[in-house]
Amino acid sequence: MSRPQNGTHPKRLRPEQIQTSLNRIETDPAHHLAGPFRPQTPLGQNHVVHSPVTYNSKNGPPVRWSTESRGFWQDIKSLRWVVVPSSSLKILLLVFVLWANWELLAPYIGKDLQNPFAPLIFISHRIPDTPDSDPRYQKGYFDLAFIAYYVVFWSFIRQSITIYICRPLAKWFGIRRETKLDRFGEQGYAVIYFLVMGLWGMRIMSQLPTWWYRTEYFWIDYPHWDMKPELKCYYLMQAAYWCQQLIVLLLGLEKPRKDYYELVAHHFVTLWLVGWSYLINLTLIGNAVYLSMDLPDSLLGLSKLLNYIQWNRTKTAVFAVFLCVWSYFRHWLNWVILYSVWFEFDLMPETSKRWEPKDGVWMVWWMKYQVFAPLVLLQALNLFWYFLIWRIAWRAIGDIKATDDRSDDEDDGEPDDENDKDD
């Protein structure tokens, strides 16, 4: 067995190197957990606010992504409709007008013709003969059209909230820096989204036999291929949101973060869980996972917002509540789900333990590991962030301002101008 040249050996991380890496994360203004909880510039301090975009030439591409339209068709070709709310709204309205015109003209042209634009706006694939009092839906290819339309919808909602609600609110609180205005908007949108979807997910679970995390019903009577309309809509809206977030991340539509690869991994694992659970009719377990993620994220975003506006006592109280909620939802409930996958998998009917997609059953023996793997990966990411969160809490107990180790005063460590060097 050959030895490395010059007697060298593969490098191993030493304890001091690990500590140095952790210290870098904790002091990194561009980390999505640590950054937003770092001490902030005094509110109202005057800074030169730079334009969020500059152009190489009149017709050249923007150096940074701007929220100003450069023409509807140009925004579509360049994918800038993702960040230009006026263009995403035009796409939404165009589809709606086409749908409405078809509805108005169809009675005169062909009464039996289905509206081709309906699958974009409304869920499709209703199960025939299900009563109007309790309609049921199954999955189908038109679900992809619904997701595509609502990717545009979430782009419009996201940018409208960040630009027209959160930025003016941040300025009212005295925030002047362009970077902080951007991050305040992102966190404001996150608080609204995760709170609404968390409460919606809780409402849906209350109508299911899985309420509150009665995990045996993930498997009893599988396959759960017939969905209540609200469950199907909720599931596809979540899928559209995470697709939109991944587009934002991969195209660099937000200011880059130092923990970029952590976030990309998180989004890919989330979409793996969403898509796979929907495909193999495990939407009940999917609803449980969504709920365990959304509610703690709303409190995390709120803690970041309170740090930006320097409501330190309120922030500390909210952070303490967040820590308890995160521990319960992101870890205890996730371990409950993992336990169910590993030990309750066999509660499903024996007739469902086969690979017959046409019958809606996919659960051959190795599918247990296929379901278990992304949940373990997600828990590994959560445990890493949980460790960082507790370090923040420990510093807060030591009477140091609370900071959160997932990514945000996200200046990338670079001042906006000479007056910002002391931040």
pLDDT greater at residue 289 or residue 44: 289
Q: Does a cis peptide bond (omega within 30 degrees of 0) precede residue 223?
A: yes
Phi/psi for 397 (5° steps) reads -65, -35
Tens of pLDDT, residues 120-144:
999 999 999 999 999 999 999 999 9
Cα Rg of the chain (Å, integer): 24
The pTM of the full predicted model, rounded to 2 decimals, is: 0.81
Among candidates 34, 384, 324, which has minimal Cα distance to 183? 34
| Band of residue 117 on the pLDDT scale cut at 50, 70, 90 | very high
Tens of pLDDT, residues 182-195:
889 999 999 999 99
Q: What is the C-alpha end-to-end distance of the chain, expressed in Å?
A: 54
Tens of pLDDT, residues 203-253:
999 999 999 999 999 999 999 999 999 999 999 999 999 999 888 888 776
pLDDT of amino acid 422: 37
pLDDT of amino acid 278: 93
Tens of pLDDT, residues 160-173:
999 999 999 999 99
For the segment 44-50, the average pLDDT, to the nearest whole number, is 46
Which 8-state DSSP code applies to residue 216? G
Which 8-state DSSP code applies to residue 6? G
Decide: 340 and 218 in contact? Cβ < 8 Å. Answer: yes
Decide: 88 and 82 in contact? Cβ < 8 Å. Answer: yes
| Band of residue 271 on the pLDDT scale cut at 50, 70, 90 | confident
pLDDT of amino acid 9: 52
Which 8-state DSSP code applies to residue 13? -
- Residue 48 pLDDT more than 50? no
Which 8-state DSSP code applies to residue 40? P
pLDDT of amino acid 51: 38
Decide: 266 and 366 in contact? Cβ < 8 Å. Answer: no
pLDDT greater at residue 298 or residue 43: 298
| Band of residue 388 on the pLDDT scale cut at 50, 70, 90 | confident
The amino acid at 145: A
pLDDT of amino acid 391: 85
Helix, strand, coil shares of the chain, percent, nearest 5, are 60, 0, 35
Among candidates 272, 300, 306, which has minimal Cα distance to 286? 272
Sequence-ordered list of residues with C-beta below 8 angstroms from that of 376, at least 6 positions apart, any chain? 338
